[in-house]
Structure 1
């Protein structure tokens, strides 16, 4: 079953296609053959700008979690033999503070439909009953519907395609490495060691590996979706550094006495 053949999904896909085509035509005088790529970048910037208030909420939530870390550690000590009691006490603590452990996940959830739409637009040869004109647009001579995995598995790849697509993937990986280093102790995004989840070396390694998942995804998605991912990870890193300066993490001094 083709999910994109369902009327509601097809309507969304058609709307995204026509919106990108309109923006592409608008940008053609300034960007020429790269107008479609510029349209994807413009959409990415617009989405990220719209999510700035959500990013601020995410930074505040992170600061709250760090501030509450000593109290959560105390709850873990008290209820180490009763996971259900620990869960209830932890949720009650977050409720009393007006937040939740999942606060800050909204930016990723809100972006998923947009990057999904960009991906779908550039993998369909036909959209809304006609040929997909966006597939004829290029960036540095490489069609926006081309992926690195597709080029490498398709026989003799063109040099330009390999260079452009590999460069994009490497750029995404570089931003991932910068993000990983920024989160190390002493970095601008480091979390105080008093925070229980960040104290385990295994968790730290897992979080570091997650920074490169986006680079792996960039290998298989079309060039247009890779552009979206690159702009997103750069924006995210810069925004997080700026918001951390605005909302520094300050854990409560020491672990509180046992809660009643």
Structure 2
């Protein structure tokens, strides 16, 4: 079953196509052959600007969770033999503070429909029974519907195509590394990790297993998920990811100054 054949989704896809085509035509006198790529960049910036309130809420939630860390550690010590009571008490604490452990996922979830539409626009040769003129648009001579994975397996791709597609993925990976370093314990966006205490039955400072070294490595690796995705999506969607990871990194730096994380070793 083709999800994009459903009437509601097909209508949204056609609307996204027409909006991108209209913006592309508007930008053509300024950007020439790169007008469609610039249109994708502008759409990304508009989406991210609309999500600024969500980013502020996320920063506030992260600061609140850091402030609550000692109290959560105390709950874990108190209920270490009763996981259900620990979960209930932890969720009640978050509810009393007006936050949630999942608040950080909101920006990613809010963008998912936009990324999906941009992806779909550049992989369908026909949209709403008409041809897809966007597939003929390029950036530095590379079609916006090209993928790095397809270029590597095609066998006949030129070096310039590989350079452009590879550069997009590389820059996304670099931003992922910057973000990983910034949010890691002791980094610019996170307080230093508290020392390990015996008998807590969890991790550093009696924290939940999520604070363990193994999970920290997993969370660090997740910062590179966008680079992996960019290898398989069309160049247009890769541009969206490129702009959004830079925006996210810069926004987190600015908001962390406004809402600094409390030292988790200090009692709340």
Q: Tell me the CA shift for residue 160 of structure 1.
A: 1.1
Cross-structure match for 1:212: 224
1:93-132 equivalent positions in 2, closer than 5 A: 93-132=93-132
Give yes or no for contact 2:193–2:264 (8 Å, CA) kept in 1.
no
Q: Tell me the CA shift for residue 254 of structure 1.
A: 3.7
- Alignment partner for residue 225 of structure 1, among 237, 246, 253? 237
Q: Tell me the CA shift for residue 101 of structure 1.
A: 1.6
Q: Distance in 2 between matches of 1:248 and 1:188?
A: 10
Q: Distance in 2 between matches of 1:130 and 1:137?
A: 16
Q: Tell me the CA shift for residue 190 of structure 1.
A: 2.1
1:1-260 equivalent positions in 2, closer than 5 A: 1-194=1-194, 196-197=207-208, 199-251=211-263, 254-255=266-267
SS of the residue 1:15 aligns to: helix
Q: Tell me the CA shift for residue 205 of structure 1.
A: 0.5
Q: Tell me the CA shift for residue 14 of structure 1.
A: 0.4
Q: Distance in 1 between matches of 2:131 and 2:184?
A: 48
Give yes or no for contact 2:145–2:234 (8 Å, CA) kept in 1.
yes
Q: Distance in 2 between matches of 1:191 and 1:8?
A: 46
Instruction: Give the count of matched residue pairs.
Output: 256
Q: Distance in 2 between matches of 1:179 and 1:19?
A: 32
Q: Distance in 2 between matches of 1:158 and 1:176?
A: 27
Q: Tell me the CA shift for residue 32 of structure 1.
A: 0.5
Of 174-183 and 230-239, more deviation after overlay is shown by: 174-183
Which runs of 5 or more structure 1 residues have no equivalent in the other structure? Answer: none
Q: Tell me the CA shift for residue 252 of structure 1.
A: 6.4
Q: Tell me the CA shift for residue 251 of structure 1.
A: 3.9
SS of the residue 2:53 aligns to: helix
Q: Distance in 2 between matches of 1:80 and 1:138?
A: 58
Q: Distance in 1 between matches of 2:137 and 2:18?
A: 15
Q: Distance in 2 between matches of 1:4 and 1:253?
A: 50
Q: Distance in 1 between matches of 2:87 and 2:184?
A: 29
Residues 6-26 of structure 1, C-alpha deviation per residue, up to 9 Å, x if partnerless? 111111100100010011111
Which runs of 5 or more structure 2 residues have no equivalent in the other structure? Answer: 195-204
Q: Tell me the CA shift for residue 213 of structure 1.
A: 1.1
